């Protein structure tokens, strides 16, 4: 039942990604991988794949392709991308059953930055150093080490359980809120005013934002005694501040080491929030302790497991049952308990 996808257009930036290359940074090799692993996991769960299966990561404008396989399911999660199948609108956050000759088009995101498209059976590209993730700067992994383009044919594993119910996600996760950080590891290389500015002022994502990192426009962050340090390791979410004073949030395709001080590090649970900000979007930071960051990470993992466990046949979401409505929090905020039945 295996086959392939034949691409009519590759979109703005569509690459194969999974959870990335673990253990290779010490050799100067970028980890790569999905910017938002939670969304990748949800897309895979919707089509019955292992959560770490390779998917297509889509940036800003999506691809168009034809299915050349007898049967396959797909699901799209992430940013607000318009999805159509055979020129008919289709919903994201749920699985769709496709047949040979079906044509899929993903348009320009109406909000957010990145989406994740999973195919049942996965994407059958050869792993490199233990991962199928694409690192375009070094032409490693993915489909020939590059973004997908018109004319490409990418093999898929094929749907091994085509009769399985088509699942839907009852409550997609929220991308909003401040981006939480742990200060350091070189916060002492900056003035007290710079740290206060990072945590108190708004920044915007600049046009210099890609999978390697997002440079932010806004107030300049002043170094205390210069901006050069002995190069050390870069982790996902490091906020590096070069000599120009503008923070750069380093992401999946980051370099392995760097010689500029890092004022803070985005916590793992919020990497998806920064990854969904597009050029011009506002970013605000708030600080948490390392202990709080660990607790948030554990809570986020529990939330992901609960969300995946709640996936149900998509038809259930079109007609909510009384039990589901009673279980949902349909009213938020503070309400008055005063009896107003006699008021006009």
Q: What is the pLDDT of residues 262-297, one digit of tens each?
A: 999 999 999 999 999 999 999 999 999 999 999 999
Q: What is the pLDDT of residues 156-204, one digit of tens each?
A: 997 777 778 999 998 777 778 899 999 999 999 999 999 999 999 999 9
DSSP string, 310-340: T-EETHHHHS--HHHHHHS----S----S--
208-230: average pLDDT: 95
Q: What is the spatial distance between Cα 247 and Cα 120, in angstroms, rounded to a whole number? A: 39
Q: What is the pLDDT of residues 112-154, one digit of tens each?
A: 999 999 999 999 999 999 999 999 999 999 999 999 999 999 9
Query: Are 184 and 229 contacting, i.e. CB atoms less than 8 angstroms apart?
Result: no
Report which of 161, 172, 173, 167 is spatially closest to residue 315, judged by C-alpha positions.
167
What is the per-residue pLDDT for 176?
81
Indicate the CATH number of 179-288 among 2.40.100.10, 1.10.357.10, 3.30.1330.10, 2.60.120.260. Answer: 2.40.100.10
Least confident of 227-241, 279-293, 308-322: 308-322
What is the per-residue pLDDT for 161?
76
Alpha carbon separation from 340 to 51, 332, 337, 343 (Å, rounded): 50, 19, 9, 5
* Other Cβ atoms closer than 10 A to 307: 18
Q: What stretch(es) of the chain map to CATH 2.40.100.10?
A: 179-288
Is 70 exceeded by the pLDDT of residue 315?
no
Q: What is the spatial distance between Cα 240 and Cα 12, in angstroms, rounded to a whole number? A: 27
Is 90 exceeded by the pLDDT of residue 320?
no
> Within the chain, what is the greatest distance between any pair of CA atoms?
75
Q: What is the spatial distance between Cα 7 and Cα 111, in angstroms, rounded to a whole number? A: 24
Given strand 248-250, what is the order of strands in its sheet?
282-283, 203-209, 213-217, 248-250, 238-240, 262-266, 179-183, 285-287
């Amino acid at each position: 039942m295996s086959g392939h996808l034949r691409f009519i257009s590759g979109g703005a930036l569509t690459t194969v990604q999974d959870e990335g290359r673990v253990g290779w940074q010490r050799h100067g090799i970028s980890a790569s991988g999905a910017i938002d692993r939670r969304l990748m996991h949800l897309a895979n769960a919707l089509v019955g794949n292992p959560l770490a299966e390779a998917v297509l990561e889509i940036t800003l404008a999506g691809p168009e392709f034809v299915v050349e396989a007898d049967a396959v399911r797909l699901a799209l999660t992430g940013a607000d991308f318009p999805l159509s199948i055979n020129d008919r609108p289709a919903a994201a956050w749920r699985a769709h059953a496709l047949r040979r000759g079906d044509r899929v088009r993903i348009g320009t995101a109406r909000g957010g930055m990145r989406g994740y498209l999973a195919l049942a059976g996965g994407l059958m590209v050869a792993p490199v150093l233990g991962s199928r993730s694409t690192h375009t700067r070094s032409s490693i992994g993915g489909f020939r080490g590059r973004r997908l383009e018109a004319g490409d044919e990418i093999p898929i594993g094929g749907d091994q359980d085509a009769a399985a119910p088509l699942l839907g996600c009852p409550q997609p996760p929220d991308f909003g809120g401040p981006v939480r950080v742990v200060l350091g590891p070189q916060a002492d290389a900056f003035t007290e005013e710079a740290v206060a500015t990072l945590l108190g002022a708004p920044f915007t994502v600049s046009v210099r934002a890609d999978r390697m990192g997002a440079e932010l426009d806004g107030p300049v962050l002043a170094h205390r005694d210069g901006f050069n340090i002995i190069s050390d390791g870069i982790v996902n979410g490091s906020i590096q501040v070069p000599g120009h004073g503008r923070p750069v949030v380093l992401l999946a395709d980051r370099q392995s080491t760097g010689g500029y001080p890092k004022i803070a590090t985005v916590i793992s649970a919020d990497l998806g929030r920064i990854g969904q900000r597009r050029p011009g979007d506002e970013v605000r930071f708030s600080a948490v302790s390392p202990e709080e960051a660990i607790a948030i990470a554990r809570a986020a993992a529990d939330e992901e497991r609960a969300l995946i466990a709640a996936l149900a046949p998509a038809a259930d979401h079109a007609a909510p049952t009384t039990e589901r409505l009673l279980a949902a929090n349909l009213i938020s905020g503070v309400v008055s308990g005063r009896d107003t039945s006699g008021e006009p």
